[in-house]
Amino acid sequence: MGDVAISIPFWLELAACLTGGLSGAMSAVRARYDLTGCLIIAFVTGLGGGITRDLLLQDVGIYAFQNPSLIVCTLIGGIIVFYFGRLATYLDPIVDLLDNTSVAIWAIIGAGKSLNAGLGIIPSILLGTITAIGGGIMRDVFMNRSPEAFQAGTLYGSAAAIGCTFYVLMRHFAIFPELAGPICAVIVIGIRYCSLAFGWRTRPAHDYSDAAIKVVAKPMKFIAKKAHVPIGKTTRDRGGTRISKIRHHGTRLYRRLSGRWLQDQTAPSLLDSANSDGAETDCVHWVDAPPEADVPPADKSDRIFVDREELHRIMDNAAAKSAEPTEPAKPADPFEPRS
């Protein structure tokens, strides 16, 4: 077996194993397991984390099998709860204190053995945390339920991880290494009781994708508004581009200098033919406009341009004709009830 990280009395290790056995046996009794199942769950809860740690280290023996008294202590806890479960409930305050203390002890032992085995900071923290909460995780796995250490609630695994972090850093950088163990134990036990007293709880996952998308999309929208937007066909037809405006003014100047605007005024236009058919004179076609009129070049599309006021007048006339009564209205009956 490797060197111990801190001088821990053997009776305190026995107390930690007994506490784990009591906790596992209580869960087994609530699930109505028999004596064999209760003892197995008690053993797994009390020593499962240490066995997992020793299996991962691979260069030392399994500490629980080298000290059978620890195994016997967990089995005694299972028997006590199985036959005297009601009396065991009166020891809840003591069991809670021993449970928190055992978490701190197993965290110190696991992290210390990892450092003595030559592992780095992160692996030592992981192995210390696994040693502290591994028994509870294995208990829940054996009982086919979700591990409580992984669920949102009071700080349990987080307390062990924080305590292991302080212990490993103090040992690795030689910052009061002789006080690293007691400080780790105080931190773990303090966080556990503070989480119970002040309601410190971990929270489940929260999706911030929408907030992140809004943060990213806001500057992108601002850039898109400021960026140059390609001109469409409608804008080109209306002469919205700078090149089309220059071309339009050049065409006006050429028609003025060449005298073509006089020919356009004297030549028959589509406006006269439209007047002969009864069209209104206030509709101007783009081709027949004199060069003095500041209008864009002729529209070569098949669209028809109609004055808005004329369109409303035509629609009003059509509505008035359709509303004219075909028969003379009958006089209202004086006895007819009026609504």
Q: Could you tell me the pLDDT band of residue 281, with boundaries at 50, 70 and 90? A: very low
Supply the pLDDT for residue 1. 43
Supply the pLDDT for residue 72. 94
The answer to whether the Cα torsion of 100, 106, 112, 118 is positive or negative is: negative
Kindly report the pTM of this predicted structure: 0.59
Residues ≥6 apart with Cβ < 8 Å to 236: 244
What is the rounded distance in angstroms from the CA atom of residue 50 to the CA atom of residue 132? Answer: 8
Q: Could you tell me the pLDDT band of residue 117, with boundaries at 50, 70 and 90? A: confident
Q: Is the pLDDT of residue 333 over 70?
A: no
Supply the pLDDT for residue 263. 63
Supply the pLDDT for residue 285. 46
Report yes or no: 96 and 112 within 8 Å, Cβ to Cβ.
no
Judged by average pLDDT, the poorest of 111-120, 285-294, 307-316 is 285-294
Q: Could you tell me the pLDDT band of residue 9, with boundaries at 50, 70 and 90? A: confident
Task: Tell which wins on pLDDT, 326 or 271.
Answer: 326
Q: Could you tell me the pLDDT band of residue 82, with boundaries at 50, 70 and 90? A: very high
State the residue for tokens 């356009």.
Answer: 264
**What percentage of the chain carries pLDDT values higher than 90?**
25
Residues ≥6 apart with Cβ < 8 Å to 195: 154, 155, 159, 201
State the residue for tokens 């016997």.
Answer: 72
Judged by average pLDDT, the poorest of 63-67, 97-101, 201-205, 256-260 is 256-260
Q: Is the pLDDT of residue 296 over 60?
A: no
Report yes or no: 107 and 132 within 8 Å, Cβ to Cβ.
yes
What is the rounded distance in angstroms from the CA atom of residue 237 to the CA atom of residue 303? Answer: 11
Q: Is the pLDDT of residue 177 over 60?
A: yes
Q: Give residue-wise pLDDT tens across range 58-73.
A: 876 888 898 899 999 9
Judged by average pLDDT, the poorest of 139-143, 180-184, 209-213, 301-305 is 301-305
What is the rounded distance in angstroms from the CA atom of residue 210 to the CA atom of residue 233? Answer: 36
Q: Give residue-wise pLDDT tens across range 206-238.
A: 888 888 888 888 888 878 777 655 555 555 555
Closest CA to 166 of 101, 111, 109: 111
* Count of C-beta atoms within a 10 Å radius of residue 104: 27
